[in-house]
Chain A
């Protein structure tokens, strides 16, 4: 069952042909120079080796090296875990917020942390997870004793989840908001229990929101690179970290671009899997 979307009508603003071109020019230039050209360049660059020779070697190296393949699998696995945890925390949150009286206000409180610089949030966790930090004080207090928390895989996943939560809550909330309450009433009238109503009515109808959230969380999680350094202590290497390393440290742009192309392909796959969702509530970056 699909809820029909309101059809948008497009109106054309009557401007003369000549003028239209003048208006389109800056935007068209941007499209050509900063959208089409860079994507083309990264694909082009991936066919060059360090000696500026045209070659397929980068791809050969990538697909024959256990290190690269393992790194890619690891990166996808971590992104999956981050998306999963984010989803598990966000769905009930969005659901409960939607039932509140002043939901717009609470939603605003969810959005507010996203306006704070991501580096500052990561930096806060360096303090919280440090040797004598808040987390370890708590662990000592409950009798577990201090642990090494910073620079572990778990801390990386925790902080990444923390940062992504609002971007998952928003699309799910929007989906809940789009849900026609008549469906829920009908389901209850026909004798379904709360759980059955949720399982067979609410959840399937909010699936587009979940998909949009997955899209908004999974792709950035593949490419996080400052968190792997600041929080993960370079133990976790994501595709993003690998690209940054190849471009800015080892200066092997060809290989970096090759991994970039892999990331672009991964992105397209994720977008195809999660369907053609309209972007809602702004995608995080």
Chain B
């Protein structure tokens, strides 16, 4: 009895979680113009989407921003994690970690508004550059948080062994440290990518007039009412997210497997 109650409850919650998403994607195939009654199957809204050059340009912009910012953030974040691990004094490390987490817990509007003040004071014109810089900025802490645990798992004997065998600092880094923490680096990269693709509020503040990303574009179109082209877009984006999730979990699993193997060897 209790078991059935739990199952029923879970089914309800999952219906609640997925109904809006499925609803959105189903209506992308409706012949009507609104999300009210399903009027028969059509690919028309997808055709509209793929011939909408403005939208395609925005998709390209969004992907470019996401990839570039994630790459740069991963680089800086990994270096940051390395330098945090290197600190010897506890106080320094704790304050670095606290500062690192400031952007993780700050509300988006605060990040957006403060970056807007910052760019305006430095007289940097709003547009592609400011959006890119902002995205790099809010992605760095998550990369650091993803890389740090891997660095902590690394055993000193590994490093000692490499050094005893005559590895230089550079070799130590490229041949021992980086390969070991690479699952963390990839996880950080993927998280950064999704943060960038998902962001609306920060971008909204620092984007200016000429430049737009998908979130901002969806916002301005949604304010004008229903447009089934957005539904079609949601279908495409959902598929893309699925691919990203699959990629992310594949990397996670690879990491787990490696750790398990290591444990088997050592035990």
* B34 A130 Cβ-Cβ under 8 A: yes
Q: Across the interface, which residues of B come within 8 angstroms of A271, CB to CB?
A: 105
* B113 A220 Cβ-Cβ under 8 A: no
Flag whether B57 is at the interface (Cβ < 8 A): no
Q: Which of A10-28 contact B (CB under 8 A)?
A: 10-16, 19-20, 23-24, 26-28
* B99 A35 Cβ-Cβ under 8 A: yes
* A13 B198 Cβ-Cβ under 8 A: no
Flag whether B244 is at the interface (Cβ < 8 A): yes
Flag whether A207 is at the interface (Cβ < 8 A): no
What is the minimal beta-carbon distance from A41 to any residue of chain B, in angstroms? 5
What is the minimal beta-carbon distance from A44 to any residue of chain B, in angstroms? 8
* B23 A127 Cβ-Cβ under 8 A: yes
Asked whether A27 and B83 contact (CB < 8 A) given A42-B113, A230-B223, the answer is yes
Q: Give the segment of A60-68, A176-184, A256-264 that binds chain B.
A: A256-264
Flag whether B152 is at the interface (Cβ < 8 A): yes
Q: Across the interface, which residues of A come within 8 angstroms of B60, CB to CB?
A: none
Asked whether A92 and B9 contact (CB < 8 A) given A109-B14, A112-B245, the answer is yes
Flag whether B161 is at the interface (Cβ < 8 A): no
Q: Which of A108-133 contact B (CB under 8 A)?
A: 108-113, 115-128, 130, 132-133
| Partner among A42, A113, A279 whose Cβ is within 8 Å of the Cβ of B117 | A42
Nearest residue (CB) in A for B214 is A117
| Partner among A42, A113, A122 whose Cβ is within 8 Å of the Cβ of B18 | A113
Please measure, in the bound complex, the distance between the C-alpha atom of A10 and the C-alpha atom of B172, giving whole angstroms: 18
Q: Across the interface, which residues of B come within 8 angstroms of A100, CB to CB?
A: 10
Q: What mask results when residues 229 to 244 of chain B are scored 1 for a CB within 8 Å of chain A, else 0?
A: 0100110011001101
* B169 A16 Cβ-Cβ under 8 A: yes
Please measure, in the bound complex, the distance between the C-alpha atom of A103 and the C-alpha atom of B136, giving whole angstroms: 34
What is the minimal beta-carbon distance from A131 to any residue of chain B, in angstroms? 8
Flag whether A141 is at the interface (Cβ < 8 A): no
Contact count band on B: 35 or more
Nearest residue (CB) in A for B235 is A120
* A247 B83 Cβ-Cβ under 8 A: no
Q: Across the interface, which residues of B come within 8 angstroms of A257, CB to CB?
A: 113, 117
Please measure, in the bound complex, the distance between the C-alpha atom of A108 and the C-alpha atom of B219, giving whole angstroms: 27
| Partner among A14, A110, A137, A263 whose Cβ is within 8 Å of the Cβ of B17 | A110
Please measure, in the bound complex, the distance between the C-alpha atom of A226 and the C-alpha atom of B234, giving whole angstroms: 18
Q: What mask results when residues 127 to 161 of chain A are scored 1 for a CB within 8 Å of chain B, else 0?
A: 11010111001000000000000000000000000
Asked whether A11 and B156 contact (CB < 8 A) given A38-B118, A120-B234, the answer is yes
Q: Across the interface, which residues of A come within 8 angstroms of B177, CB to CB?
A: 13
Interface of B is mostly: helix
Flag whether B58 is at the interface (Cβ < 8 A): no
* A267 B105 Cβ-Cβ under 8 A: yes
* A279 B205 Cβ-Cβ under 8 A: no
Please measure, in the bound complex, the distance between the C-alpha atom of A20 and the C-alpha atom of B121, giving whole angstroms: 31
| Partner among A30, A137, A165, A260 whose Cβ is within 8 Å of the Cβ of B114 | A260
* A38 B169 Cβ-Cβ under 8 A: no
Flag whether B262 is at the interface (Cβ < 8 A): no
Please measure, in the bound complex, the distance between the C-alpha atom of A123 and the C-alpha atom of B21, giving whole angstroms: 10
What is the minimal beta-carbon distance from A182 to any residue of chain B, in angstroms? 22
Q: Across the interface, which residues of A come within 8 angstroms of B129, CB to CB?
A: none
Flag whether B55 is at the interface (Cβ < 8 A): no
Not counting A30-B80, A215-B105, a sample of 18 additional A-B residue pairs whose C-beta atoms are within 8 angstroms of each other reads A10-B93, A10-B152, A13-B82, A15-B173, A23-B79, A24-B83, A108-B245, A116-B237, A118-B198, A119-B200, A125-B20, A126-B225, A132-B37, A226-B200, A244-B204, A247-B116, A248-B204, A260-B110
- In the complex, 10 of the A-B residue pairs with CB atoms within 8 angstroms, ordered by the A residue number, are A19-B169, A31-B100, A35-B100, A42-B113, A115-B245, A123-B234, A127-B35, A226-B200, A239-B109, A271-B105
Residues of A at under 8 Å CB distance from B?
8-16, 19-20, 23-24, 26-28, 30-31, 33-39, 41-42, 45, 89, 92-93, 96-97, 99-100, 106, 108-113, 115-128, 130, 132-134, 137, 162, 165-166, 215, 219-220, 222-223, 225-226, 229-230, 239-240, 243-244, 247-248, 253, 256-257, 260, 263-264, 267, 271, 279, 282-283, 285
Nearest 3 pairs of A and B residues by beta carbon: A127-B35, A27-B80, A38-B114
